[in-house]
């Protein structure tokens, strides 16, 4: 079906991408504005892929005339005129120099973009100083088109954006949908102060008239449910002109007369408690041959350590740079790594050890060595329009940040979309999820199509986005888990002594302040293949404390291969023989504790804890679940600190080290991280 997808929720002046799904590049498609609010002059062009920018608040209906009939798309527009910021150079793999060195690896690029700590306007990391090397419209897409985001994401009203969760239940002969709105942290808005709007998905047979709406609930008579249908909801704060990221459920009647309700934005259950391990495929294994067989040899060690999910950097044919992000053939495994059969054998072996595998999905660009780009540059009319061009006259392809070895795909071309959807179909059945490279540089509507595509075959398929800074709207039927770029940035700044340790707590709070719903998943990392090693840059005590953070804060911890053994090089062959056993034991103890204690897991509540300490490199917080309360104390200071917890009654045994950390004065002596049991305060 060519229907363009779910309803859109945006602000006045924001731009959304319109494209037919599952496109036939040889077919004809035509867009039109079916209905619009009074006073609107907004229009849409006649190309198969278009942009639409609403000019007044209200509800619009956009129509698509396609080979399989006419389709309607509802666009709900809220009153706002604020603009999103540009994306930040993340120091990624396609930079100038060695073909993908990533510069100096500083803080995912956010430091080089003019950030000096703190949060500005609700954006991850607080953007200032613009974006290095981005030429905006000359690159073919404006800033607002990187992700189809609403303006309120970045500059919400007092206290930030509201949040919303939509649940469903069966009550006798009715399906009841309950929306739970929540204010942003610090916002003085009672639950009753929010309006909730419900929208039936235009793709489904359920009619709007079948919903009986009372306040924050919608009811549907089971007799009026004609088949699989999706309902979307959004919370609105009229006083501050802000609105939430939408949530959605699917309602499916079964053959045996039951009705199943599915929360569509909920991450896969298995992903909530994983320890993710990134493997830079060409420098991970011992010896000179970085093959899948050599990587397989280390699976027993990873499984024993507690790793249960692996992210492989790209494994496809490329232009020869070891990072692999400059792809020359999206359907073939790189020759130096092995064959397709050997790749699939590696995945099967990982599964035997209880380890899931994420495939690094690169969709924004190809290498300039790709056959299609070579033909485009040679003037082949069949492929010229596959790419964006900085300068047609000089044959200069558009890229971000002056990356010299890649060329951006043109997503206005249906041939490109068809080709990349075929790439998704090729690899999704072989793996457990995608880590989506440069997600901000691909239209949101395309990610939503990919999500529907992979989830229709495997509801538990995981989608992880690399977006810097993170974007709350990407949890609207796009991705399950998001890189926590704010936490990464703050950990680096704390490690350098340029932020107080309480910035760890600020990072967790900011997830809600920017509008992420509580059910969004976050990847917590202190280094990866784009960054210098934390140990090398910040020091040993700071590294141990940061490790404590990523394993005890609410989220998914990421280890970059070699991090756990004290590897100091970023992309060189890992020196397994030089393992720092003490550091490895520290990581292992943290990982084991997280698995053993539900309070540290996905269901554990999070709460800042008052402390009394001399050094501002100390912070504490509590995690609580199933009647257990644990207090975590992190010490980023270069020396052990005596820490008092005035509001807590705690035991003196550190659950990480097993040591008694009590002192004669009753304080806790904390070297880098301590986790202690506390009296439940509920």
CA nearest neighbour of 264 among 435, 62, 461, 464: 461
Quick check: 630 and 622 in contact, CB under 8 A? yes
Which tokens belong to 257?
Answer: 């007369």
Which tokens belong to 645?
Answer: 């917890």
Compute and round to an integer the Cα radius of gyration of the chain.
25
| Rounded CA separation 5/411 (Å) | 16
Before 37, cis peptide (omega within 30)? no
| Rounded CA separation 93/54 (Å) | 36
- Per DSSP, the residues of 90-121 read ---TT-SSSSS--TT--GGGTGGGT--SS-BT
Choose, from 93, 151, 388, 466, the residue flagged as catalytic.
466
Which tokens belong to 537?
Answer: 């840059």
What's 108's DSSP letter?
G
Which tokens belong to 227?
Answer: 């088949």
Choose, from 90, 437, 465, 484, the residue flagged as catalytic.
437
Place of tokens 């956010």: 110
How many Å is the maximal CA-CA distance in the chain?
A: 80
- H helix or E strand, kind and range, residue 590: helix 581-596
Beta-strand runs (E) in 323-391: 327-333, 356-361, 365-367, 389-391
Which tokens belong to 427?
Answer: 């690899």
User: CB burial class (10 A; 0-12, 13-18, 19+) of residue 269?
Assistant: exposed
Q: What are phi and psi of 633, to 5 degrees?
A: -120, 125
Which tokens belong to 372?
Answer: 């299609």
C-alpha 106 chain-centroid distance: 20
- For the chain, counts of helices (H) and of strands (E): 12, 35
What's 423's DSSP letter?
H
* Residues ≥6 apart with Cβ < 8 Å to 194: 162, 181, 183, 216, 235, 236, 237
User: CB burial class (10 A; 0-12, 13-18, 19+) of residue 354?
Assistant: exposed
| Rounded CA separation 135/362 (Å) | 22
Which tokens belong to 580?
Answer: 């720092």
Length of the chain measured in residues: 682
The CB-side HSE value for 644 (13 A sphere, CA atoms) comes to: 8
User: CB burial class (10 A; 0-12, 13-18, 19+) of residue 387?
Assistant: buried
Q: Is 288 a catalytic residue?
A: no
| Rounded CA separation 302/175 (Å) | 45
| Rounded CA separation 588/657 (Å) | 11
- Partners of 311 in beta bridges: 278, 358
Place of tokens 């936490």: 487
Which tokens belong to 254?
Answer: 């079964």
3-state helix, strand, coil in the chain (%, to 5): 25, 30, 50
Q: Is 437 a catalytic residue?
A: yes
- Strand 433-436 relative to strand 356-361, pairing: parallel
| Rounded CA separation 139/133 (Å) | 11
Catalytically active residues, by annotation: 437, 466
């Amino acid at each position: 079906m060519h229907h363009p997808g779910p309803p859109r929720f945006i602000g006045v002046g924001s731009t959304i991408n319109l494209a037919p799904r599952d496109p036939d590049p040889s077919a004809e498609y035509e867009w039109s504005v079916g209905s619009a609010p009074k006073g609107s002059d907004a229009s849409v062009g006649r190309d198969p892929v278009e942009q639409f920018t609403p000019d007044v608040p209200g509800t619009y209906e956009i129509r698509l005339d396609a080979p399989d009939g006419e389709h309607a798309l509802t666009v709900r527009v809220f009153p706002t005129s604020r603009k999103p910021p540009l994306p930040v150079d993340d120091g990624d793999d396609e930079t100038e120099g060695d073909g993908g060195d990533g510069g100096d690896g500083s803080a995912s690029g956010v430091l080089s973009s003019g950030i000096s700590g703190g949060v500005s306007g609700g954006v991850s990391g607080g953007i200032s100083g613009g974006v290095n090397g981005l030429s905006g419209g000359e690159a073919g897409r404006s800033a607002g088109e990187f992700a189809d985001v609403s303006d309120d994401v970045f500059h919400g009203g007092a206290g930030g954006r509201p949040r919303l969760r939509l649940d469903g239940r069966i009550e006798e002969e009715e399906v009841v949908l309950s929306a739970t709105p929540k204010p942003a942290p610090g916002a003085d808005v009672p639950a009753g102060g929010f309006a909730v709007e419900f929208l039936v998905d235009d793709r489904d047979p359920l009619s709007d008239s079948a919903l009986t709406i009372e306040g924050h609930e919608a009811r549907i008579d089971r007799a009026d449910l004609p088949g699989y249908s999706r309902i979307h909801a959004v919370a609105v704060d009229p006083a501050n002109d802000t609105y939430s990221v939408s949530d959605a459920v699917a309602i499916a009647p079964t053959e045996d007369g039951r009705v199943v309700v599915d929360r569509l934005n909920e991450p896969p259950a298995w992903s909530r408690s994983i320890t993710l391990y990134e493997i830079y495929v060409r420098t991970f294994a011992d010896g000179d041959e970085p093959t899948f067989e050599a990587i397989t040899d280390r699976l027993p060690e990873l499984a024993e350590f507690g790793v249960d999910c692996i992210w492989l950097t790209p494994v496809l044919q490329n232009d020869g740079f070891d990072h692999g992000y400059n792809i020359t053939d999206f359907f073939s495994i790189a020759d130096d790594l092995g064959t397709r059969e050997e790749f699939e054998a590696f995945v099967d072996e990982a599964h035997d050890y209880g380890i899931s595998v994420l495939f690094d999905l690169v969709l924004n660009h190809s290498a300039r060595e790709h056959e299609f780009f070579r033909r485009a540059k040679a003037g082949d009319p069949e492929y010229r329009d596959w790419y964006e061009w900085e300068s047609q006259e000089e044959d200069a392809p558009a890229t971000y940040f002056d990356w010299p070895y890649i060329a951006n795909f043109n997503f206005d071309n249906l041939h490109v979309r068809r080709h990349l959807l075929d790439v998704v179909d090729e690899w999704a059945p072989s793996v457990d999820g995608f880590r989506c490279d440069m997600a901000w540089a691909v239209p949101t509507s395309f990610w939503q199509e990919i999500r529907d595509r992979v989830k229709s075959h495997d509801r538990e398929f995981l989608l992880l986005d690399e977006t810097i800074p993170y974007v709350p709207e990407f949890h609207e039927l796009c991705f399950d888990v998001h890189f926590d770029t704010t936490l990464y940035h703050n950990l680096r700044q704390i490690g350098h002594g340029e932020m107080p340790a309480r910035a760890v707590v600020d990072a967790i709070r900011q997830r809600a302040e920017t509008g992420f719903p509580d059910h969004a998943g976050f990847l917590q990392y202190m280094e990866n293949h784009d960054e210098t090693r934390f140990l090398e840059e910040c020091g040993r005590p700071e590294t141990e404390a940061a490790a404590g953070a990523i394993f005890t804060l609410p989220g998914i911890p990421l280890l970059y291969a070699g991090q756990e053994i004290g590897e100091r090089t970023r992309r060189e062959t890992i020196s397994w023989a030089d393992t720092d056993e003490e550091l490895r034991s520290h990581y292992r103890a943290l990982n084991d504790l997280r698995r053993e204690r539900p309070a540290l897991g996905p269901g554990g509540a999070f709460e800042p804890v008052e402390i009394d300490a001399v050094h501002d490199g100390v912070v504490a917080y509590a995690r609580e679940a199933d009647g257990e309360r644990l207090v975590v104390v992190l010490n980023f200071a270069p020396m052990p600190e005596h820490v008092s917890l005035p509001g807590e009654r705690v035991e003196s045994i550190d659950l990480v080290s097993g040591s008694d950390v009590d002192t004669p004065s009753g304080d806790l002596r904390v070297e880098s991280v301590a986790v202690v049991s506390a009296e439940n305060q509920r």
